[in-house]
């Protein structure tokens, strides 16, 4: 999800963005989160979220200041994923299907013109300390900036290499 959000946001700010996805499916890990329902966020203020982070909550302060739980909820609703709040202020898609969250992210990528290529990045290429491109399975993709979103280490069967 982080890679899709980053790609769509960069494109919405005017960048030409190509998203490389080796799994043949966007958001593969999202399909299994929340027992297939995908807990999107918590319906509470950012400072309330931080109170529930057991270690180093200050680490998240900047992220929550820039994109709060309310912002996340608005984003998904604006992109066609209706949400509901359940016990413990947990927010899920009304459909109870993680696919609704993935559909909203796909819609965001489409709206912002992100090109999706179904291949793996093999190496970030640099020259004189600057990024020049990405070597992929099928060749070279010129780029002056790269966002590397590998996913976390959990559930490696989903393709995450974090």
Fold classification of 1-25+113-162 (topology level): FAD/NAD(P)-binding domain (3.50.50)
Give percent of the chain with pLDDT exceeding 90: 63
Instruction: Using the predicted structure, report yes or no on whether residue 92 has a pLDDT greater than 90.
Output: yes
Domain spans of the chain, in order of start: 1-25+113-162
Look at residue 122 and give its three-state secondary structure. Answer: strand
Instruction: Using the predicted structure, report yes or no on whether residue 126 has a pLDDT greater than 90.
Output: yes
pLDDT the model gives residue 159: 58
Distance of CA 49 to the CA centre of its chain: 19
Residue 96 tokens read as 């109870």
137 CB neighbour count, 10 Å cutoff: 12
Residue pLDDT, tens place only, 20-78: 999 889 988 888 888 889 999 989 887 788 887 778 878 887 787 888 899 999 999 99
Residue pLDDT, tens place only, 40-54: 998 988 778 888 777
Q: How far apart are CA 145 and CA 109, in angstroms?
A: 18
Q: Would you say the pTM of this structure is higher than 0.75?
A: yes
Torsion sign across C-alpha atoms 71, 77, 81, 83: positive
DSSP string covering 27-74: TTGGGGGGGGT---EESS-HHHHHHT-SS-GGGGHHHHHHS-HHHHHH
* Averaged pLDDT for residues 107-134: 96
């Amino acid at each position: 999800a982080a890679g899709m959000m980053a790609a769509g946001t960069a494109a919405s700010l005017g960048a030409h963005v190509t998203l490389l996805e080796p799994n043949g499916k966007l958001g593969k890990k999202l399909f299994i989160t929340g027992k297939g329902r995908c807990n999107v966020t918590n319906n509470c203020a950012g400072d309330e979220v931080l109170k529930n982070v057991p270690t180093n909550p200050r680490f998240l302060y900047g992220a929550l200041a820039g994109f709060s739980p309310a912002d996340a909820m608005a984003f998904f609703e604006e992109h066609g994923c209706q949400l509901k709040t359940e016990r413990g202020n947990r927010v899920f898609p009304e459909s109870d299907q993680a696919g609704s969250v993935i559909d909203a992210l796909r819609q965001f990528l489409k709206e912002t013109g992100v090109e999706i290529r179904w291949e793996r990045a093999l190496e970030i290429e640099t020259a004189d300390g600057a990024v020049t491109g990405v070597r992929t399975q099928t060749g070279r993709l010129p780029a002056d900036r790269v966002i590397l979103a590998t996913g976390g280490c959990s559930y490696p069967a989903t393709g995450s290499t974090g």
